[in-house]
Structure 1
Amino acid sequence: MNYLLSILVENKPGVLSRITGLFSRRGFNIESLSVAPTEDESLSRMTVIVEADEVGFEQITKQLHKLVSVFKISDLTFEGAVERELVLFKVQAPPERRHEVIEIANVFRANVVDVGHATLTIEATGTASKLDAMEDLFRAYGIKQLTRTGKVAQTRGSRDA
């Protein structure tokens, strides 16, 4: 099962390495990882998706709590959290088919961020299922390059403490 964790950590060099090393040493694969400073510059928020069974997940969270640089761990797996990803698609788009690719991007409220001689680069944000659907449609035109961020997530406003 994939678990979604939000981990509040010190914004200092080496913290990311210690945390990812903890996952690695225990044989867990990180499916997705996103890290950035928060509204408080001394803290960073890590959004981690890890595949584990229930016992393994409990083990990893207990080990994370022992790290001095970890302040808070939130399991957002079953919380109905707001989740988003960003993707950049570089799609084969010769001039005679370019309008078709732009039309697909518009349906998904995506933005064309670069135009090449035979390609378009499209930026899209949304849920994983939305981005997967876009990818399926763009494959028919030929995806030259695809870059996808890790998932970012937070609890919904009504669940604030």
Structure 2
Amino acid sequence: MKHTLSVLVEDEAGVLTRIAGLFARRGFNIESLAVGPAEQAGISRITMVVPGDDQVIEQLAKQLYKLINVLKVQDITETPSVERELMLLKVNADGANRSEVVGLAQIFRARVVDVSEESLTLEVVGDPGKMVAIEQVLNRFGITEIARTGKIALTRESGVNTEYLKSLESRV
């Protein structure tokens, strides 16, 4: 199972290296990694997607807490949260299929950020499932390049689990 970890760290040189080293020494892969300033000056939030069962993730969290500069580790996999990712996608789009590519992009609320004779570059923001879906739809046109940021996430203060609500809607 994939787990989403939210880690608050002091914003100092070498913190990310120590965290990556911990994962490498233990033989674990980080599937997605996003780092940026948090709500407080001098603090950064690291959001990671890591494969493993609950026991493995619990052990990793304990190991993370032992590192200098790690302030808080939270597994938010089962916690209602808002998840987003940014993807830039370059798609073959000549005069013959350009309007179809733009139409599909609009369905996904993607923005065209660059245009050339032979291609379009799209900006897509949304949950990771949306990234997979638009990639599958546009694959038939020929995707030449992709750049993704990795998942970022914050827990929902409302406690509303939108995944649960979506499952109720699909039953109706």
What TM-score do you get using the length of structure 1 for normalisation?
0.95
| Equivalence for 2:5 | 5
* One-letter amino acid of the structure 1 residue matched with residue 126 of structure 2: G
How far has the Cα of 1:32 moved from its partner? Answer: 0.6
Which residue matches 2:166? none
Amino acid at match of 2:19: I
Partners of 2:99 and 2:74 in 1: CA distance: 44
Query: Aligned residue for 2:130?
Result: 130
Aligned to 1:156: 156
- 1:88-114 deviations in Å (ceiling 9; x for gaps): 110000012111110001111110000
Find out whether 1:47 has 2:47 as its counterpart.
Answer: yes
Q: Which runs of 4+ in 1 moved over 3 A?
A: none
For residues 28-72 of structure 1, the C-alpha deviation after alignment (integer angstroms, 9 at most, x for no partner) is 110110001113230100001111122221211111111120011
CA RMSD in angstroms, aligned pairs only: 1.0
- The CA distance in 1 between the partners of 2:55 and 2:79, in whole Å, is 20
Structure 1 counterpart of 2:44, one-letter code = S
Structure 2 runs not aligned, ≥5 long:
160-172
CA distance in 1, matches of 2:91, 2:112: 10
Which residue identity does 1:158 align to in structure 2?
Answer: S
What corresponds to 2:78 in structure 1? 78
TM normalised by structure 2 equals 0.89
Q: Secondary structure at the match of 2:49?
A: strand
Matched AA of 2:58: E
In the aligned structure 2, how far is the partner of 1:112 from the partner of 1:18?
38
* Whole-angstrom distance in 2 between the partners of 1:41 and 1:96: 51
Amino acid paired to 1:43: I
